[in-house]
Amino acid sequence: MDIRENIRIAIFSIRTNLMRSLLTMLGIIIGVASVIAIITVGNGSRDYIIGMIRDMGNSAINIMVDANKAQPSDYITADDIEAIKALDTVDYVSPYVMTMGALNVEDKAAIGILVGGNTDLRFVTSGDCVYGRFFNEAEYTAGRPVGVIDATSARQLFGKANVVGEYVNFTYNDVVTRIKIIGVTDLASSFGMDSEEMMESMQAMGGMQMSGGMLMVPSTLSTQVMGSLESFDTVYIMANDENDLEGAGSAALNRLRARHNNGDRDCYVVTNMATYIDLLDTVINIFTIFIAAVSAISLVVGGIGVMNIMLVSITERTREIGIRKALGAKTSTILFQFLTESIILCLIGGLIGLLIGVFGAAVVSHIMNIPLEVKPTTVAIAVGFSTAIGVVFGVYPARRAAKMPPIEALRRD
């Protein structure tokens, strides 16, 4: 008997006992749907998050001063930054000075974060303005009290996004600095949301109202506010070739060590921001695989149901098996007939589970606003898992049917 005849008999048997077959498939359907939905959503989430980080600048290198090993003379200066920027492998360099204080807008008080940098800060933070402009070189050199606010913070503080020309008071150590807003960035777009969506998300977190804002200002101003010298413990570098981040980081580190004559002390920490992408990719993959593996337990339950129903089917078709063996059917023919039926049963359940899983993933992706991508490997997993379950849990019933003596089979009612 050829494979086509086996498939025809298997389909006829399934159609004859349709309700029983559907109930038998249910475990396979649920298991495959769960695995497919989790893998698809996991892949979409991973691509979305990693893409978001790449959009924020995956060619960034961070150099920090190790305060436990550094001396005051080891800290990074404005001249160091210019020397690093002169490297052929580097496009942009900005110090990164962050401090927290209080923001006051008329009668509204909020938590404020002040981020200081030079004119390259816009490139290392993807801070292009949607309203107004970024501070220029003259404003940076003079340390003028101007700043760029993100649209989400603007909505929190002013109730609108375009706040160019407005003023905020930043208080640090009881010293108040009045800062004019000259630009508004849309940092929320880096997260795949507009400013209103981000604000709603922040408000929804823990059911609490977020009240705060972030301002990007010249580092010459932020150091004045903090009352510190213009030396920095953190700089961000944008390499001109994302494939040579290690080279750019090493060149910048060597330039710093040469200028400060501290090559004998390991007082700088260089971090390739792209490594975070690889680490995040690995973590999300492990997490997705783990959850999918837990969900796949239901496939084992479904496989047991398939084995049970195949044993029932063999009991009901004992005379059929006896007649076929009496007419000369080989043991291998009977075995492959029932094995094919088990595989077809699981394969149909797997395909139904695939459709349900993709539909469920599409709904979740729409709600979470992440891309939906059904990869060929996902389809292969559905087909492969279903076939494997059919083979593993169909072998025993098929072997039992194939080894049944024809005389005993014909005697049974």
Q: Which residue has the higher pLDDT, 79 or 368?
A: 79
Whether the predicted model's global pTM rises above the 0.75 cut: no
Q: Are strands 108-117 and 212-218 parallel, antiparallel or unpaired?
A: parallel
Eight-class DSSP state of 194: -
Spatial contact of 368 and 52, defined as CB atoms under 8 Å apart: no
For residues 60-69, give the mean pLDDT.
87
Eight-class DSSP state of 244: G
Task: Express as a percent the part of the chain with pLDDT over 90.
Answer: 16
Residue 407 pLDDT grade (very low, low, confident, very high; cuts 50, 70, 90): low
In degrees and rounded to multiples of 5, residue 231 shows phi and psi of: -130, 150
Eight-class DSSP state of 149: E
Q: Which residue has the higher pLDDT, 367 or 234?
A: 234
**DSSP of 158-183, one letter per residue?**
HSSS--TT-EEEEEETTEEEEEEEEE
**Model confidence at 58: pLDDT above 80:** no
**Model confidence at 201: pLDDT above 80:** no
For residues 166-187, give the mean pLDDT.
90
Q: How far is CA 316 from CA 17, 20, 131, 313, 320, in A?
A: 12, 13, 77, 5, 9
pLDDT at 396: 78
Q: Which two tokens stand for residue 12?
A: 């006829």
Residue 56 pLDDT grade (very low, low, confident, very high; cuts 50, 70, 90): low
**Model confidence at 224: pLDDT above 50:** yes
Residue 53 pLDDT grade (very low, low, confident, very high; cuts 50, 70, 90): low
Dist. CA 339–CA 312, nearest whole Å? 14
Tell me: the pLDDT tens digits for 18-35?
A: 888 888 888 888 888 888
Tell me: the pLDDT tens digits for 121-174?
A: 888 876 678 899 999 999 999 999 999 998 888 888 888 889 999 999 999 988
Residue 81 pLDDT grade (very low, low, confident, very high; cuts 50, 70, 90): very high
**DSSP of 46-105, one letter per residue?**
HHHHHHHHHHTTTTEEEEEE-TTT--GGGSEEHHHHHHHHTSTTEEEEEE-EEEEEEEEE
Residue 199 pLDDT grade (very low, low, confident, very high; cuts 50, 70, 90): very low
Tell me: the pLDDT tens digits for 90-126?
A: 888 999 888 888 888 877 778 888 899 999 988 887 6
